[in-house]
């Protein structure tokens, strides 16, 4: 089973039991789109795209990310190219669902990822005002060794120049689906997008380029379209991969501090030693229940802390009982909200176990 780990101290807050503090904990969540227990080999077909740059690049980037995850075996580019050549003898529509199944069989994949990538753009010719910096020399009298001497001093002057540019509003929308090759059933899919508006593309080469210093507001807008395209392909492929692979998410855990209690437990908790932290909290809770000086908010905080620590050990049923006790003693947003969160953690752990066991 995946292990929760404490990462770092985040912030101090004010709480009714004294002081509270926030720690960040990592946990694993299941893949949003589960391809199936029987899926071992995944293929990624070329994406249909109205811009040629996106056609193979998205599938190549996605294949690399899926292979790097070690969750799936990924069909090689050589087998993909061979399948493309065979499919194109009868059809170029290998991003269609029916043809995708045929494509998947050709590359011996259990599941195939396919889709469309559409680029939208609106261009407008504009002039961008830039500042040109020129250098020149003047003669000045300066004192040197007690005598005035005439020397040349370098000076700078600026004037405005107009640079022709293309103002482009650009967006990319990617729709993908995952189909089970054996059954022909689409098991999941989604739409992703990225946009920038507007960006300026300066004419290249621009006659003033080498002697022009761009103002800050221009620097923010000037975009290399090739760089933007590459970054977009990387982001979209990463977005698809995140939906197909179990992910690690970071949870903010509020630690309530109770005077004279849970100090040792906190030391172990913040270093991810949850079992030792739980042992200290169990002792603290038993001691607090016998201590009349500890009020209900204090006992609620200790129940909450032990419940959270159990949750970090994936002892979810025990955790929920303690969190409910905390909410009964002190029904605040923190205690009630943590119950819902741990219920989701439990469900995620069960779903993840099903995916991993497959």
For the domain bounded by 41-123+164-245, which CATH number is listed?
A: 3.40.50.10610
The separation between CA 54 and the C-alpha centre of its own chain, rounded to angstroms, equals 21
58 pLDDT exceeds 60? yes
pLDDT band of residue 214 (cuts 50, 70, 90) is low
Q: What is the CATH number of domain 5-29+255-349?
A: 1.25.40.10
Distances (CA, A) of 19 to 16, 53, 298: 7, 55, 12
Say how many C-beta atoms besides its own lie within 10 A of residue 104's C-beta: 27
Per-residue model confidence (pLDDT) at position 105: 93
In order of 124, 326, 342, 343, 353, the CA distances from 346 in angstroms are 53, 19, 6, 5, 11
CB 179 within 8 A of CB 97: yes
Cα separation, 204 vs 132, whole angstroms? 17
pLDDT at position 197, please?
A: 66
Q: What does the pLDDT read at residue 130?
A: 72
Q: Are 179 and 185 in contact (CB under 8 A)?
A: yes
Q: Which residue reads 């991810």 in tokens?
A: 272
Q: What is the pLDDT of residues 116-143, one digit of tens each?
A: 999 888 888 877 777 777 888 998 888 8
The tens digit of pLDDT for each residue in 143-165 reads: 888 888 888 988 888 877 777 77
* Angle between helix 52-69 and 77-87 (nearest 10): 140
Phi and psi at 3, nearest 5°, equal: -110, 135
* Most confident option among 91-105, 189-203, 244-258: 244-258
Report which of residues 115 and 198 the model is more confident about.
115
Question: SS3 of 218, please?
Answer: helix
* pLDDT value at residue 92: 55
C-alpha dist (Å) from residue 146 to 133, 141, 142, 150: 35, 12, 10, 13
pLDDT in tens, 296-337: 999 999 999 999 999 999 999 999 999 999 999 999 999 999
Q: Which residue ranges make up each domain of the chain?
A: 5-29+255-349, 41-123+164-245, 131-163
Phi, psi (deg, nearest 5) at residue 245: -120, 140
pTM score over 0.85: no
Burial of 249 (0-12, 13-18, 19+ CB in 10 A): exposed
Which residues make beta-bridge pairs with 171? 120, 195
Task: Judge whether residue 343 has pLDDT over 80.
Answer: yes
Can you give the pLDDT at residue 86?
Answer: 83
Q: For the ranges 207-211, 292-296, 316-320, which has the lowest average pLDDT?
A: 207-211
The SS3 of residue 132 is strand
Residue 111, pLDDT score: 96
The yes-or-no verdict on residue 63 having pLDDT over 90 is yes
**What are 35-54's pLDDT values in tens digits?**
998 899 999 998 888 888 88
């Amino acid at each position: 089973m995946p292990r929760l780990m404490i990462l770092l101290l985040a912030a101090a807050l004010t709480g009714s039991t004294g002081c509270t503090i926030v720690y960040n904990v990592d946990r694993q969540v299941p893949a949003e789109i589960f391809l199936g227990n029987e899926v071992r080999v995944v293929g990624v077909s070329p994406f249909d795209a109205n811009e040629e740059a996106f056609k193979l690049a998205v599938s190549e980037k996605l294949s690399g990310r899926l292979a790097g995850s070690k969750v799936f075996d990924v069909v090689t580019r050589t087998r993909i190219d061979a399948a493309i050549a065979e499919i194109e003898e009868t059809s170029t529509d290998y991003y269609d669902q029916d043809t995708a199944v045929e494509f998947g069989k050709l590359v011996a994949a259990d599941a195939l990822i396919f889709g469309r990538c559409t680029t939208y753009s609106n261009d407008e010719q504009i002039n961008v005002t830039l500042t040109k910096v020129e250098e020149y020399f003047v003669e000045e009298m300066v004192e040197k060794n007690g005598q005035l001497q005439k020397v040349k001093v370098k000076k700078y002057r600026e004037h405005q120049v107009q640079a022709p540019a293309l103002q482009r509003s650009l967006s990319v929308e990617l729709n993908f689906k995952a189909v089970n090759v054996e059954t022909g059933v689409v098991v999941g899919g989604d739409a992703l997008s990225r946009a920038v508006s507007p960006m300026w593309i300066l004419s290249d080469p621009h006659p003033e380029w080498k002697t022009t210093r761009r103002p800050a507001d221009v620097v923010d807008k000037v975009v290399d379209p090739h760089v933007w395209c590459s970054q977009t392909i990387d982001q979209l492929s990463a977005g698809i991969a995140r939906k197909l692979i179990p992910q690690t998410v970071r949870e903010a855990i509020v630690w309530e501090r109770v005077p004279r209690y849970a100090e040792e437990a906190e030391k172990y908790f913040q270093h991810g030693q949850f079992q030792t932290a739980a042992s200290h909290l169990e002792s603290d809770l038993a001691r607090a229940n016998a201590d009349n000086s500890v009020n209900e908010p204090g006992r609620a905080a200790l129940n909450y802390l032990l419940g959270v620590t159990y949750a970090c050990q994936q002892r979810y049923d025990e955790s929920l009982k303690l969190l409910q006790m905390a909410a009964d003693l002190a029904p605040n947003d923190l205690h009630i909200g943590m119950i819902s969160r741990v219920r989701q953690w439990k469900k995620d752990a069960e779903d993840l176990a099903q995916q991993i066991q497959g």
